[in-house]
Amino acid sequence: MKQHIEHAESGQFSHSTYLGNIIQNELITSISRKILDTVVTEIKQSKYHSVILDCTPDVSHQEQISVIIRTVKMDKAPEINEHFMGFLVAPERTGLGLSPLILKKLMELNIPFDDCREQSYDNGANMRGRNKGVQARLLEKNPHALYVPCGAHSLNLVVSDAATASTDATSYFGNVQKLYSLFSASPQRWAILRDHVTVALKTWSDTRWESHINSIEAVRYQASNIREALLKIREVMDPLTKVEAQSLAEEVGSYRFLICTVIWYDILHHVNHVSKLLQFPKMQFDVALDLTKAKTSLINYRTGFALAQASTKGMYEEINVEAVLNEKRLRSTKNHFAYEAPHKPIVDAMKRLEATFFNVVVDTAIQSLTDRFETLGEVRDRFGV
């Protein structure tokens, strides 16, 4: 092939060079088929295999499933191999819609699903559901295809569950994203930000919650500098940008935003540390399961609202704001009967933030952690030594 290209480039051919796009695509397709045939042959030689799946939307907003087959190659020493077998376009994300796609793909590759001994993917309800999830439907086809959830995905989903459990949490992350969007919208604004901070703001991935800690870290330790950068933008930009910068400066300078930053940074910092350890290539299963006992530290943190308040002290003193939450007017509820509205609303704003944000977020994370890692405990009970 190299000699052929050299001859074609030197003009030695008076006839067609067969280097057009159609021929090139045929060559790529032929090589792809040959590689795939070789991989399938290796999978069959190993006989038993596991299936690893993950769903993500692409740039064209289509849901795609990546299919990976894991095998143990018995050579001089056992060797674990993972083979990427391609993408599947998923018209729907339900267990009923995904299961036939996976079985059809394996059938096309001539890989018998009866030899599957494990299925592994994230802890989404459509995948891990005990009755209608993908793992349950595949277990009906092959009872030996044990479901093992992905530990790293599980921790990300734990944080995702916690973040959607409270309106204060959702609002907080929305404001952090607005900060990045405002500064990154133009080089001039970004230059103003870099003049005031040492660690720049970062955006995050919607599918990887561990990326959120990088974006919060800049706010956690540079809230005062970010606020000064917003005030600078307010002085030099157009009227519309000035209004947005003023609004965000007031938000960053509020005690509510500062204490939410401290709480989220503490939670994400611990979860991210465990997530990184779980992704270590030589991590052992028993050790990984012990690491997922992050529930203990979260339970201890459940009583840490006062500690979070103390950690916020340096931040609000630097910005020169009072450690006071603005009271919000509560709608009164008229009691017509004795059984209506038995609970009185929490009037104190700090107590309300603790009850509706801090307690809700931590409790949701603890419960989610318990539910999602229950299956890993079952696997350890079966195979642990």
- Give percent above pLDDT 70 in the chain: 84
Domains contained in the chain, CATH given: 45-148 (3.30.420.40), 155-383 (no CATH)
- ∠ Cα 154 155 156 (to 5°): 90
Q: Which of 152-156, 222-226, 235-239, 366-370 has the highest mean pLDDT?
A: 222-226
Which of 70-74, 105-109, 185-189, 363-367 shows the lowest per-residue confidence on average (mean pLDDT)? 363-367
Predicted TM-score (pTM) of the model is 0.70
Residues 6+ apart with CB under 8 A from 245: 182, 230, 231, 233, 234, 237
- The predicted structure's pLDDT at residue 383: 78
Residue 231 has pLDDT above 50, yes or no: yes
pLDDT at residue 341, rounded to an integer: 52
Residue identified by tokens 């990887």 is 208
Query: Could you read off the pLDDT of 40-99 as tens digits, one per residue?
Result: 999 998 889 999 888 777 777 777 888 899 999 888 888 889 999 888 888 877 778 888
Q: Distance between CA atoms of 265 and 229, rounded to whole angstroms?
A: 22
The whole-chain average pLDDT of the chain stands at 80
Summarize the confidence of residues 98-127 as an average pLDDT: 84
**pLDDT for position 330:** 46
- Range with lowest mean pLDDT among 47-56, 96-105, 194-203, 263-272: 263-272
**Whole-angstrom Cα distance, residue 92 to residue 162?**
25
